[in-house]
Structure 1
Amino acid sequence: MGAKLSGGGGSKFQIEQNSEINVTPFVDIMLVLLIIFMVAAPMATVSVEVQMPTAVAPPQQNPPKPVYISIQEDGDVFIGDGPTSVDSMGADLKRLIGKRNPDEERIFIRADKKVRYGTFMEVMNALQDSGFYSVALVGEDGNK
């Protein structure tokens, strides 16, 4: 005593196949991913405005969580998005990296192309005095 589930003739146990694809779960997942990327993308960028000179060297792979020092045209220095001074930069960097070894930490320096060379060297000397010897200079890609 079974009930017939679908369609015309055939036996009582025959079920017709539904060949339509249900795209609703796919659309839901894509919308969730879109929202996640829209929220996460602004947090992954540095918002300090500098005009960097172009570089022709091939780009190197970034570490998992890079530390950026930005030097603006007027000489203001930033670690990530937070302002700092040359005198307190070493202590701020050590507080930022926590228990990681300063010798193994690579620091990325972004400087405006109109920054005085003396200001740039003050930052470099402060980094060396604090034990940060691995420094990378960031420039705009000149191969565009």
Structure 2
Amino acid sequence: MKNLKITVCAMMVIMSISGMSASFRFFKKKNNDNNKPAATVPALSKVTSSNPASDYCAKQGGKSIIVKSSKGDYGVCMLKDGTAMEEWEYYRQNNTPRDAEAAVIGMPNPASKFCVDKGGKSVTEKDKNGNERGVCRFNNGTKVDEWDYYRENN
């Protein structure tokens, strides 16, 4: 039994060492690929992953590109008229927090809308603790919590 434990431990050590050496060779090869001269790396390349600033640039008819510099990579939006602007700067100038807030504020409550669509009347009632809740009131006098009604039927 003692020989079995020693054999298993020795096998585990050998497998660990071989795994580390294999990963070291892979890491060394990968690092050698990154040490290519800067002349072989293109200065501009297309954006491969999307972000809100890149999406906004494209929606406005611009072309999103990545600029590689010694300080890091950054996105630039090339607009139709030929002007170039850093993507996030362009996005922030044209999308304020108020714009996003207005979009949410203008959206109806889906439970209230569902209540009205089904022939009910959406009303706000207070419970005994003073908390407000949406209630769907029907012509026959029945009342049901709007969100409960919405969830049960959707």
Larger radius of gyration: 2
Which category describes the TM-score, using the shorter chain as reference length? under 0.3
- TM-score, structure 1 as length reference: 0.26
Higher relative CO (Cα under 8 Å, sequence separation at least 6) belongs to 1
- TM-score, structure 2 as length reference: 0.25
The structure with the largest strand share of the pair is 2
The structure with the largest helix share of the pair is 2
